[in-house]
Structures are given as structure tokens and as C-alpha cells.
């Protein structure tokens, strides 16, 4: 059988085909810059939510064969025939370009510019799907812990739930002010270097100041690349669907080199892994 052709990576930074229909207020922008996160009740038209959700569900189900190359289990090593505890698709816009033509994405691109500056651009997306009655959390981490330690960044992520996001099904939690931290010690989830996900090393930080951000469908949270965040397990009766857009203002070489030992461990484990 001829393998399915992998579609090209879309131009995430391209101008949106439509103008935004909602923007952030000055008060919301100020809150984000002070606290490192922001929760907003609506970033898209209510009528668009069912359509985006339909595309999302198709990518995780009927289109699974097409998305296989970018399909991961966030909390464990990918194993053939084993159901993912927390399924993740990288670059869903590559497989469903209609996502990038939505009012949602037009609004998010405009909001990224409001929060980071007029030169900010969208650079990617991903989708995380937590099954119902699932015990796997997405552990505490900083996004920059995944990135190139030879570079410095100014970026953000936008997390959009496609159903209500609650403490029961795994809404976002943040540590206010943690955007000012350096990248703190991380490790692969469960200390298994074959796991793609990362977690803060147990005991490296006290998370008692964390804030939970429950949202209606079509709302969003925004956070900087160093803001500490986590989502608990989904203990509800429905899938917890989240679409995530990533934006950046700059990405440039660092004056002072650094190392991320956790990334080195993951790279070494992948290199030593027997070929399939």
C-alpha cells in the first residue's frame, strides 16, 4: 500500500484571511504582563465552536492514519497497539488547514500582537485530548523547558477548550508571577527518558500559590513561555479537548550558553532505541 503523503507545514505566520471580531482590553493586557497568565471567557464566536470541535474530533479519530507521524502519548512512550493516556497531535493545522482560516485563529493572532507587540506572529499549534475517567495529569512544567537551550525567547501559548474546562475534567492551573523565573529543573515525565513530556523535578518548587482557571467552551488561557502550569486528570464523562496556538515575538541566540540535561537524556534515549 502506498504510504499517505504528509502535508507540508502551513505558514502559521501568514496574515489571517479575516479581521478579528474581538480583542483584549487594556486591563486584561496589564493583568497578563503582571501575572504571566490570563483567562478570557470568549475568544471565538459561539457558532464556530461546534465546527472547530468537529475538525478536532476527526483528527483524533477518522484521520488517525494521516496524523500518525505527529501523534504522541504525552505521558508515556508511544507503543503500537496501546491506547494513549493523553493523546497529542503536533501541528494539527498541517492536517486541517481550515483550522487556520477560522475566526478563532484570526482573533488569536490579533491577541498575540496585543500581548507581545506588533511584530508577534503565530508559529505553530497542537491539540491535546484527555479521555474521560483518565488518571493522567499533564504535570507542572514550563514550555521553555522543551525548547532549544542555546536560544532565548519571548513567546506565549493560548489554550482553548472546546467544552467547559473545569477542575473535574482538567482545566489549566498557573503559578502567578512565575514568568519571571529562570527555567527550573525538569525531567521526563515519570523519569522515563522515552516519554516526550516533561515535568518539574519533584520537590523543586512549592505550587501552593497556584490558581485554577475554569472556562466555558471557546474561552482561552494565555501564558508566557516560562509561566508554570499544569492540568489535572480528566475525571468527567466526556473527552477534554484543547486546541493550543503558539506565538512568538523573538527567538535568538543566547549570550550565555546553558544546558537542559532532561532534553539531552531524551535525545540519548531516542538515539539508543532499536529501529522499529
Q: For the whole model, what pTM was predicted?
A: 0.94
- Asked whether the beta carbons of 226 and 142 are under 8 A apart, the reply is yes
Q: What's the pLDDT score for residue 82?
A: 62
Predicted local distance difference test score (pLDDT) of residue 99: 97
Taking CA atoms, 220 is separated from 65, 66, 152, 190, in Å, by 29, 28, 25, 28
- How confident is the model at residue 16, as a pLDDT? 96
The helix (run of H) or strand (run of E) holding residue 125 is strand 121-130
d(CA 100, CA 82): 31
- Report strand pairing: 138-141 vs 71-73: unpaired
CA 105 from centre of chain: 14
pLDDT digit string (tens) for 99-129? 999 999 999 999 999 999 999 999 999 999 9
- Kindly indicate the confidence band of residue 1, based on its pLDDT and cuts at 50, 70 and 90: very low
Residue 143 burial class via C-beta count within 10 angstroms: exposed 0-12, middle 13-18, buried 19 and up: buried
Q: What is the pLDDT of residue 83?
A: 75
Query: Average per-residue pLDDT in the chain?
Result: 94
Q: What is the CATH number of domain 26-272?
A: 2.60.120.620
Dihedral sign for Cα 223, 225, 228, 231, please: positive
Give the percent of the chain with pLDDT over 90.
86
For the ranges 21-35, 50-64, 71-85, the lowest mean pLDDT is seen at 71-85
Q: What are 115's three cell numbers?
A: 500581548
Amino acid at each position: 500500500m502506498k504510504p499517505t503523503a504528509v502535508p507540508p507545514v502551513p505558514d502559521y505566520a501568514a496574515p489571517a484571511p479575516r479581521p478579528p471580531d474581538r480583542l483584549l482590553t487594556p486591563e486584561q493586557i496589564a493583568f497578563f504582563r503582571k501575572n504571566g497568565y490570563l483567562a478570557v471567557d470568549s475568544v471565538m464566536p459561539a457558532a464556530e465552536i461546534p465546527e472547530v470541535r468537529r475538525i478536532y474530533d476527526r483528527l483524533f479519530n477518522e484521520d488517525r492514519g494521516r496524523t500518525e507521524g505527529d501523534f504522541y502519548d504525552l505521558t508515556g512512550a508511544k507503543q503500537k497497539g496501546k491506547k494513549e493516556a493523553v493523546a497529542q497531535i503536533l501541528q494539527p493545522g498541517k492536517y486541517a488547514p481550515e483550522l487556520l482560516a477560522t475566526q478563532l485563529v484570526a482573533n488569536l493572532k490579533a491577541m498575540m500582537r496585543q500581548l507581545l507587540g506588533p511584530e508577534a506572529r503565530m508559529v505553530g499549534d497542537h491539540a491535546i485530548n484527555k479521555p474521560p475517567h483518565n488518571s493522567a495529569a499533564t504535570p507542572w512544567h514550563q514550555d521553555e523547558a522543551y525548547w532549544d537551550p542555546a536560544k532565548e525567547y519571548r513567546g506565549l501559548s493560548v489554550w482553548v477548550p472546546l467544552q467547559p474546562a473545569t477542575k473535574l475534567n482538567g482545566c489549566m492551573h498557573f503559578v502567578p508571577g512565575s514568568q519571571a523565573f529562570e527555567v527550573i529543573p525538569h525531567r521526563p515525565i515519570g523519569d522515563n527518558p522515552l516519554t516526550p513530556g516533561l515535568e518539574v523535578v519533584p520537590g523543586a518548587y512549592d505550587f501552593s500559590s497556584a490558581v485554577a482557571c475554569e472556562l466555558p467552551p471557546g474561552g482561552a488561557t494565555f501564558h508566557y513561555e516560562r509561566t508554570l502550569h499544569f492540568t489535572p486528570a480528566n475525571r468527567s464523562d466526556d473527552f477534554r479537548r484543547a486546541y493550543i496556538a503558539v506565538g512568538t515575538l523573538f527567538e535568538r541566540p543566547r549570550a550565555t550558553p546553558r544546558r537542559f540535561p532532561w532534553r539531552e537524556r531524551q535525545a540519548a534515549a531516542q538515539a539508543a532505541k532499536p529501529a522499529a
